[in-house]
Amino acid sequence: MSQQLTKEQLISITNQFGSPVYVYHAEKIEEKFNLLSNAFAACNARFFYACKSLTNINILKLMHQLGANLDCVSINEVKLGLQAGFEPNQILFTPNCVDFEEIEAGKNLGVHINIDNISILEQFGNKYGNTYPVCIRLNPHIMAGGNFKISTGHIDSKFGISIHQMRHIERIVKSTGLHVAGLHMHTGSEIKDVNVFLQGLEVMFEMASHFPNLAFIDLGSGFKVPYHEDDYATDVNKLGQKLSEAFNEYQKETGKSLQVWFEPGKFLVSESGYFVVKANVIKQTTATVFVGVNSGFNHLIRPMFYEAYHRIENISNSNGPERIYTVVGNICETDTFAWDRKINEVREGDYLVFYNAGAYGFEMSSNFNSRLKPAEVLVKNGEALLIRKRDEFQDLLRNQIEVL
């Protein structure tokens, strides 16, 4: 049975900790991790939680307890991972467009380094040769993902080294003695079709022939989660079966046994998250009824940035008649969460919940308009635990220096 929090629990938590509030369900995260582990049980698979989706230290500790590894995109995420208890060999560091010093900082901490730039690859090889194994992020030139903003493997992407630059990569490896232990690709997020992964794997197998010391192939992630009742999700069981067959066939043909790595982020935490807000005002114009809530894109930017859909429910009046509302925020910009959405009648003071808010919600929040960031709460074993305090006014002044 799928784990979920009840409306009564969410109302109780909001009454206790105030609104807006992010709420995460530990058992749901565990459920999703177990689903992946079972789906890829026939593969030699490792899972690295893409912590950019949600980096609260308690979530990182939970992932560590579940047996996950960690995927990081900045040196501070690496440091957070170490603080949460991950060992260096459990951390993959995949930065993009960073200074070489940041790559070196990761190397000095002993984590897996994933390089996606010819210049950085050459600098690393010249300085460290074969003394420190690296992974190379390739751009497979595959267009995938829910929309262009979350597609990262197409020909004009800033991510990865083009597969058509393989001769250049080989020259660097040969001249510096660089030890390439892994190859990486990530085509995008919200991938419905498992054949995208298989298409990418075919490219990666072809590239693998250039690297005799290869130990793993990292297929990134992009597993899709459903956002509404009729939405699709990536069939991870089907994908696990097909990948197992592909890797077994590769081993028969080459005699090489490779691990497969994945970097799920949204898949693990999105459905565990709830964002509860309060209806401040009901405002009617000539054509639209607005629900103005005590939040905005400063707290949840995905609908505005990615045109992302979040199901919204009135948990204070769940049996009320359905009305059509446009849900907007309190920011002095156009911050529309949803247009013309059917929601049970909303009264001023009602609590609304945004579902699937665990990934890239609080993580992408800001203090725009000098608004305060919300609290975060983790529900584990039925207990609601405050894992981040709500901002206070003084937080807006922190690090500012008054010189006038």
Angle, helices 100-109/75-83, rounded to nearest 10 degrees: 20
Instruction: Give me the helix-helix angle, 166-176 and 118-128, nearest 10°.
Output: 10
Specify the pairing of strand 69-72 against strand 91-93: parallel
* pLDDT exceeds cutoff 90 at 230: no
306 marked as binding residue: yes
* 347 assigned ligand-binding residue: no
Q: Is 333 annotated as a binding residue?
A: yes
What local confidence, expressed as pLDDT, does residue 140 receive? 83
Q: Which of 51, 72, 97, 332 is catalytic?
A: 332
Give the Cα separation of 385 and 265 in Å (integer): 22
Does the pLDDT of residue 52 top 50, yes or no? yes
Confidence grade of residue 224 (pLDDT, cut at 50, 70, 90): confident
Show Cβ contacts of residue 58 under 8 Å, excluding neighbours closer than 6 positions. 378, 385, 387
Q: What percent of the chain has pLDDT above 90?
A: 84
Q: What is the residue-wise DSSP string for 118-162?
A: HHHHHHHHHHHTTSS-EEEEEE-----SSSGGGB-SSTT-SSSEE
Residues forming beta bridges with residue 279, ordered by sequence position:
293
Given a cut of 50, whether residue 151 has pLDDT beyond it is no
The answer on whether 302 is annotated among ligand-binding residues is yes
Counting residues of the chain whose pLDDT is more than 70, the rounded percentage is: 95
> Between these two residues, 10 and 187, which has the higher pLDDT value?
10
Q: Does the pLDDT of residue 153 top 50, yes or no?
A: no
Backbone angles phi, psi at 212, to 5 degrees: -70, -20
Q: Which of 90, 107, 260 is nearest to 178 (CA)?
A: 107
**pLDDT computed for residue 223 by the predictor:** 87
Domains and CATH numbers, the chain: 95-262 (3.20.20.10), 270-397 (2.40.37.10)
User: What is the residue-averaged pLDDT of the chain?
Assistant: 93
Burial class (CB in 10 A: 0-12, 13-18, 19+), 174: exposed
Please report the pLDDT score of residue 149 as a whole number: 39
Instruction: Determine whether 72 is an active site residue.
Output: no
110-118 average pLDDT score: 96
Q: Which helix (H) or strand (E) holds 47?
A: strand 45-50
pLDDT value at 198 more than 70: yes
360 labeled binding residue: yes
| Mean pLDDT computed over 104-109 | 98
